[in-house]
Amino acid sequence: MTACASQYDPYSHAAMSDPHELYRALRAEGAPHFLPKYNAWAFTLFDDVKAASLKEKCLDFSHGQTPGQLLLNEFIPHTFATMNGPAHKAWRGIIAGDFTPDAVAAQVPRYRALARELWEPLRKQGRMDAYRDLANRFFCINAGYKLGLPRDDSEHMRSLIDDMLHRNPNQVGGNSERNQSAGGALMAYLHEFVGRLRADPARAEGFTKAYLEAEIDGHRLTDEELVWYLFSLLVLGSETTPMVIAATFYHLGQNPAQKAAVLSDNGLLRRAFFEAARYRQPTNMLARRAREDFEVGGQAIRAGQNLLFIYASANRDAKRFSDPDQFNCLREDGDPNMTFGIGSHFCLGKFVAIEAGIAILEEVFRDITDFEVNYDRCENSYGEHLSGFVSVPLSFTLKA
């Protein structure tokens, strides 16, 4: 059966398992699509997502950034991601200096050393799960390191974060027992961590220290607010990039000519990573609310309406990308900008994701002559918000 735009509901089983056919139908309408049930506009064209992202004075981030927050009234953490204008700039600015291209370039030797450390025992085994054993592990350790968490604790957070984001088929929102108990355990851990540092602030490190000491317009973070900052940075810093790394292996494995090209010229890994991020956009969609009337793609948006920025669809728009439903790491029209969002709320971790992601891939590829993905055992996430592989087992052969 062909997907029909009028059937689109971000919480339908079809949309939460594999939305691309629905997105094609929505893009074919050629204009933003209104969802009365959610009082929401779905933006699916590249130009519409871009135009709406740049209408910043018409956007209100304080009602949340995830679809669950806007459409299901899920809890909204009060961090810079859910602030507007100068407050957003000031609170994001506390740590933004650590995320510039230059600051990230200075971290690359540490990324390489960590990637090497995790890869070394896997290398000896001749097989690994690209998501579980390598990429997810790397990004949890890295996110924890930047917060000054003990390393063993950061590793333990991996399973809690995965459990918190896991969705059962047809599950709407993060309300399962598994989600709630993992989220509760993560929050309890962070509350205890913050409590210990309040008692002994000299032990705080990294972003935790920065936010513990921050004061803007006379406001210092309460324990609750500080915990939400740590929670957000831990989750955002560890979930998406591993999916892109896993997708890079998955799709190169399906395309022998591209795989051979990348294996013989590791310089192509940068393009392969960007293409995996485009083709398998991990942040399927994010959301905001309109605070003023404005127009996008010929449609009148009204203040108070919800807005779904569907990056995964924008990144497959045929008006912007040739042959958009083909994975092609040799394409000339790649563009990482939409993948990481556009406007002042663009992904804070953009350059970390890119440079650490590529460092991990390079550490592996420089040691191998070939790899085979076990496609029968790959697993995909399910849901309306994040989308990507959470397991890509593979075997490989090493250079002599």
**Residue burial 120-154, b: 16+ Cβ < 10 Å; e: rest:** eebbeeeebbbbbbbbbbbbbbbbbbbbbbeeeeb
Q: Assess 388 for contact with ligand HEM (CB under 6 A).
A: no
Q: Which of residues 281-300 bind ligand HEM (CB under 6 A)?
A: 282-283, 286
CA nearest to 95, candidates 238, 205, 225: 205
Residue partners of 30: CB distance under 8 A and separation at least 6: 45, 297
CB of 52 to ligand HEM, least distance (A): 10
Query: C-alpha distances in angstroms, 92 versus 63, 221, 347, 384?
Result: 17, 13, 11, 26
Phi, psi of 398 (to 5 degrees): -95, 155
Q: Nearest approach, Cβ of 391 to ligand HEM (angstroms)?
A: 18
Instruction: Give the interface segment with ligand HEM, choosing from 220-228, 313-321, 340-348, 375-383 (CB under 6 A).
Output: 340-348
Give whichever of 237 and 253 is closer to ligand HEM, judged by the CB atom: 237
CB of 282 to ligand HEM, least distance (A): 5
Asked if 60 contacts 290 with a C-beta cutoff of 8 angstroms, the reply is: yes
Q: Which is nearer to ligand HEM, 78 or 123 (CB)?
A: 78
- Residue 63 touching ligand HEM (CB under 6 A): no
Q: Contacting ligand HEM (CB under 6 A), which of 15, 16, 52, 81? A: 81
Q: Counting contacts by CB under 6 A, is residue 241 touching ligand HEM?
A: yes
DSSP 342: S
Q: Of the two residues 3 and 389, which places its CB atom closer to ligand HEM in the complex?
A: 389
Residues 6+ apart with CB under 8 A from 257: none
**Structure tokens of 153?**
């604790």
As measured in angstroms, the least distance from the Cβ of 238 to ligand HEM is 7
- Which amino acid, one-letter code, is at 272? A
Closest alpha carbon to 268 in 277, 258, 278: 258
Is residue 233 a contact residue for ligand HEM (CB under 6 A)?
yes
Question: Which residue, 16 or 312, has its beta carbon nearer to ligand HEM?
Answer: 312
The reply to whether 84 sits near ligand HEM by the rule CB under 6 A is no
| Cβ nearer to ligand HEM, comparing 94 with 197 | 94
In the complex, minimum distance from the CB of residue 16 to ligand HEM, in angstroms, rounded to a whole number: 19
- How far, in Å, CA of 270 to CA of 254, rounded? 18
Residues that bind ligand HEM (CB under 6 A): 53, 80-81, 92, 233, 236-237, 240-241, 244, 277, 282-283, 286, 311, 339-343, 345-349, 352-353
